[in-house]
Amino acid sequence: MEEQLDLNPNSVNELSESSLPPLEDDDTPVLSSYALAALQEFLSSEQSHSDAGDSEVSLVSEDWRLSQFWYDAETAKTVAEEVLTLSNGVDSRVACIACPTLYAYLKKMDPNVSVQLLEYDKRFEQYGSDYTFYDYNHPEDLLSDLKHSYKVIIADPPYLSKECLEKIAETISFLRQPGESFLLLLTGEVQKERAAEILGLHPCGFKPHHTSKLGNEFRVFTNYDPGTRLGGWEK
Ligand SMILES: C[S@@+](CC[C@H](N)C(=O)[O-])C[C@H]1O[C@@H](n2cnc3c(N)ncnc32)[C@H](O)[C@@H]1O
C-alpha cells in the first residue's frame, strides 16, 4: 500500500537524539540552545492559539496522531465567508468533511446555517446532531439521510495520499446533491494533479495557513470558478 504522508510540523520532525539536553555533573538536565529555541517556539504557538481562541472560536487541542492541524483565524474566516456566499439565500445544506475549525467558524458567523460535520474525532460529538462519525476508510458507511443532500461540500483529508483522496471522493459523490454543487478541497499543493484527475478541481490563489507551521504548502481547490474570491482560479 502507498505510504501515507502526514502533515507533521517541521519543528517536531527535526528533534533528534543529538538535540537531547546534556547532563551536568549532578545529573540535572539542562536544555541545549537548540532545544530551548524549539520549546520557546512551541510555547509561543500554543499562546497564539489560545489567544485566537479567546477572541475567535474555541477549539479542542490538536491531536497530531490524527493529523490534526487547525486553520489560523484568517484562513477559517476566508473559507467560511466563501461557503456562506455559496449557500446564501438558498436553502442549501453544507457538509464539512474532516474540517472541524471551518464548522465552528461557520456556526459563529451564521448560527442559522445548516452544516453537518463528518469527522473521526469523537470529541466533536459536542456539536450534537450536527456531528457524524466518519472514517474515510469506510467512505459510504453513512446514514442514508445524508445521501445526495448537500449542495456545498468542503473536505480537508487527513493524509496526502492517492488512496485517501480517492476514498474522500467516494464520500463526496455520496453526499452531493444532483444538479449544481460546489466542492472545495483544502489540501497540500502536492495533490494538485490528483485533485484535477479524481475530482476535476482547480487551485485558487488563496493559500490556507495553520496555527502550527507545516512543511507542506496548502491550497484550496474548487470545482467552480470563484471569480475574484479566494484569490481567483489559477489558470
Ligand atoms: C488535516 S486535518 C484538517 C483539519 C482542518 N485543517 C481544520 O482546521 O478544521 C485532518 C482531519 O482529519 C481527521 N481525521 C483523522 N483520521 C481520520 C479518519 N480516519 N477518517 C476521517 N477523518 C480523519 C482529523 O481528526 C482532522 O480533523
Which protein residue has the closest C-alpha to ligand 1 atom 1?
158
Element (H, E) at 116: strand 115-119
Which protein residue has the closest C-alpha to ligand 1 atom 2?
68
C-alpha cell at 180: 449544481
Is the Cβ atom of 82 under 6 angstroms away from ligand 1? no
> Tens digits of per-residue pLDDT, 189-199?
999 999 999 99
Mutate to test the pocket of ligand 1, among 59, 65, 70, 119 (most ligand atoms within 8 A of CB): 119
Is the Cβ atom of 146 under 6 angstroms away from ligand 1? no
- Residue 48 carries which DSSP code? H
Is the Cβ atom of 185 under 6 angstroms away from ligand 1? no
Which protein residue has the closest C-alpha to ligand 1 atom 18?
135
Which protein residue has the closest C-alpha to ligand 1 atom 21?
135
End-to-end CA distance of the chain: 33
> Tens digits of per-residue pLDDT, 54-91?
456 778 999 989 999 999 999 999 999 999 999 976 66
Is the Cβ atom of 103 under 6 angstroms away from ligand 1? no
Q: Percentage of residues in the chain with pLDDT exceeding 90?
A: 68
- Residue 10 carries which DSSP code? H
> Tens digits of per-residue pLDDT, 17-40?
333 333 344 454 556 665 665 555
Residue 53: per-residue pLDDT: 41
Rounded distance, CA 222 to CA 192, Å?
Answer: 11
Residue 57: per-residue pLDDT: 76
Q: State the pTM of this model.
A: 0.81
Rounded distance, CA 78 to CA 198, Å?
Answer: 25
Which protein residue has the closest C-alpha to ligand 1 atom 9?
99
